[in-house]
Amino acid sequence: MGVPSYREHFIESRKNYPYSGNIGLEDFYQFRYSIYRPSHPHKGDPPLGFEFPNTFHEILNNLSDTLSSEFDKLQETLKEENFFISIKDFYHIEELENLAKALIPPVEQKLFGCYCVLEGCYLYRNIHANIKAHSSWIPHSDNNPKEIIKIMVYSSDVLSEQDAPIFFLTKNGNAVKNKTTRVDLNNWKSPKNDSRFYDDDLRSYYNQGYSFTPILGSRGTVIVFDNNIIHKASNPSHGRKRESIVFMIRPWKKKMETYISQKTTGSFGDKTIFINPNTV
């Protein structure tokens, strides 16, 4: 048998999943984003529907401290034009695995209806940079396969636009989803303009009342989103920083006993998006 399409692989993975009450397949494909804000519930946020275990905040607090001291060490060696610091060697951090075990199963159950593999893990501290908007500060979609979802956790407080929130292009809680050009193993194309969007591209959305909305929240805010929605990162004000943890997950046929491993989890600079859905 040849390699299944991503959709076929997803359907197969759903058949292997023992829990009931899954959402429909098409509901998954319609999903855009959900936000869990521990202390700043906002009216108009799409309902989350995910419930994270009580241990989540304790795990995150311990992990944030570990990561912050690691970022501090790395920041000492930085050059001026750097706008973020990343930790790439995270495989030994036990609390990170615990965080994955707290966050991923509820998303498997409520959103995917199947087990997932943690395809990519990104640990960032965004710092102020005195440079023109570039890279992910420009509105974009990640142009990933439809079956990839990101779970982003703020591990520092992001309470104002000075703290470098992520922004989504929305109107009344509805986000705009861009069509991916990476559909399947045999249908994998480069996107136009590197999936970047400029004001002229977005004019019709602005005219309809869409605007870039900052996603604010204290430490422990969880943003589950389809990374093909149009979004942008931002530059913190001078002296401010933002820390976050991003898990990128996709369907898998069996339960992962360990989510984070050198074999299955990539990070910056690695090839982290899947080509053959049957391999990790």
Q: Taking a C-beta distance cutoff of 8 angstroms, is the pair 103, 151 a contact?
A: yes
Binding-site size for Fe ion (CB under 5 A) equals 1
Q: Which is nearer to Fe ion, 142 or 226 (CB)?
A: 142
Q: Tell which phi-psi region holds residue 64, choosing left (phi > 0), alpha (psi between -120 and 50) or beta.
A: alpha
CA pair distance 16, 140, nearest whole angstrom = 34
**CA neighbours within 13 Å on the CB side: how many for 223?**
25
Residue 177 is encoded by which pair of tokens? 């989803």
Q: How far is CA 54 from CA 6, 12, 99, 234, in A?
A: 34, 32, 12, 31
- Smaller CB distance to Fe ion: residue 105 or 139? 139
Q: Is residue 226 at the binding interface for Fe ion, with CB under 5 A as the rule? A: no
Q: Are 139 and 169 in contact, with CB atoms under 8 Å apart?
A: yes
What is the distance between the alpha carbons of residues 9 and 14, in angstroms, rounded to a whole number? 9
What is the nearest approach in angstroms of Fe ion to the Cβ of residue 147? Answer: 17
Q: Quick one: which segment of 65-73, 135-143, 198-206, 211-219 binds Fe ion (CB under 5 A)?
A: 135-143
Residue with nearest beta carbon to Fe ion:
142
Which CB atom, from 97 or from 142, has the smaller least distance to Fe ion? Answer: 142
State yes or no: residue 97 binds Fe ion (CB under 5 A): no
Query: Rounded to the nearest whole angstrom, what is the least distance from the CB of residue 40 to Fe ion in the complex?
Result: 23
Q: Which of 119, 142, 147, 226 is the binder for Fe ion (CB under 5 A)?
A: 142
Determine the interface stretch with Fe ion among 42-50, 138-146, 178-186, 206-214 (rule: CB under 5 A).
138-146
Query: Which parts of this chain interact with Fe ion (CB under 5 A)?
Result: 142
